[in-house]
Amino acid sequence: MIAALLLLALLPSALGETLRAYCDPDTPPPFVPEHAPAGDDYFSDAVFIGDSMMEYWEIYELLPTASFVWQVGMSPMSVGRKQFRVAGSNEKISTYDQAALYHPAKIYVWLGANGLDTKNSELVLEDYEKMADELIAHFPDALIYVISPPPMTWKRATQEKYPVAPRRYENFEGMLRELAARRNFYYIDAYHLVTGENGYMRGNCSIGDGFHLNRTALGMVTDYIRAHTAPYRKTEENPQ
């Protein structure tokens, strides 16, 4: 079955076609109009895939009914290679198979800026394109959301060996938004929620390391997500 899914993911690219996710017919991607905040019921069949940023989200229980699949350092390039141990055995499964255990109707992907510090933006975007193929192939019936990565604070950026300039973050945010439109993903603009006028993360949004968001900033992202949810109407009786 896994081999068939991989073939499905590769075939459209070989034919020059583009896989597109399921989306609500009345809510065209990439943006969902703002509405009254969705309750916890909406997220009971949602899986959040990401890096260490997800760890804090899960710890703070800002979305208590959601499921989380994350590993420290996960990037768009490595997400398909990360493995998770199956409880009670020595078996290991992929990120996608781990997410599939929750039978998600909604997938949220937030991989921070991992990769932007060592690769140019175009190559990171290629990694997102490959990941998009995998996500759609594994979860053809799910709504897929992609969350834009926040920048570092100015203080953290000046301490990095390979600092990412603010303009790169801003340009990449636009590239990711265009990818979301191509792939029928819904776009969550976390970047502008936490970025100051200088293009760096506002200092009051960080937990102190200049990279990870604190509870207040994650609460802002959570509130934004709750107010920008697309309806999920796909059923066996009412397919897209």
Give the E-state strand segments of 6-153 in sequence order: 46-50, 67-70, 83-85, 92-94, 106-110, 143-147
Number of alpha carbons in the 13 Å side-chain half-sphere of residue 152: 19
Residue 232, in any domain of the structure: no
Residue 3, pLDDT score: 44
Percent of the chain with pLDDT over 90: 65
pTM confidence score: 0.89
Domain of 18, CATH number, reads 3.40.50.1110
The stretches in the chain having pLDDT less than 70 are 1-16, 235-240
State the virtual CA torsion across 164, 110, 239, 66 in degrees, nearest 10. Answer: -170
pLDDT tens for 38-76 read 999 999 999 999 998 888 899 999 999 999 999 988 988
pLDDT tens for 194-215 read 999 999 999 899 999 988 999 9
Residue 233, in any domain of the structure: no
Residue 237, in any domain of the structure: no
Torsion region of 210: left, alpha or beta (phi above 0 gives left; psi -120 to 50 gives alpha)? left
What is the total count of domains within the chain? Answer: 1
Residue 88, in any domain of the structure: yes
* Cα angle, residue 135 at apex, residues 82 and 238 outer, rounded to 5°: 145
Residue 49, in any domain of the structure: yes
Domain range enclosing 77: 2-226
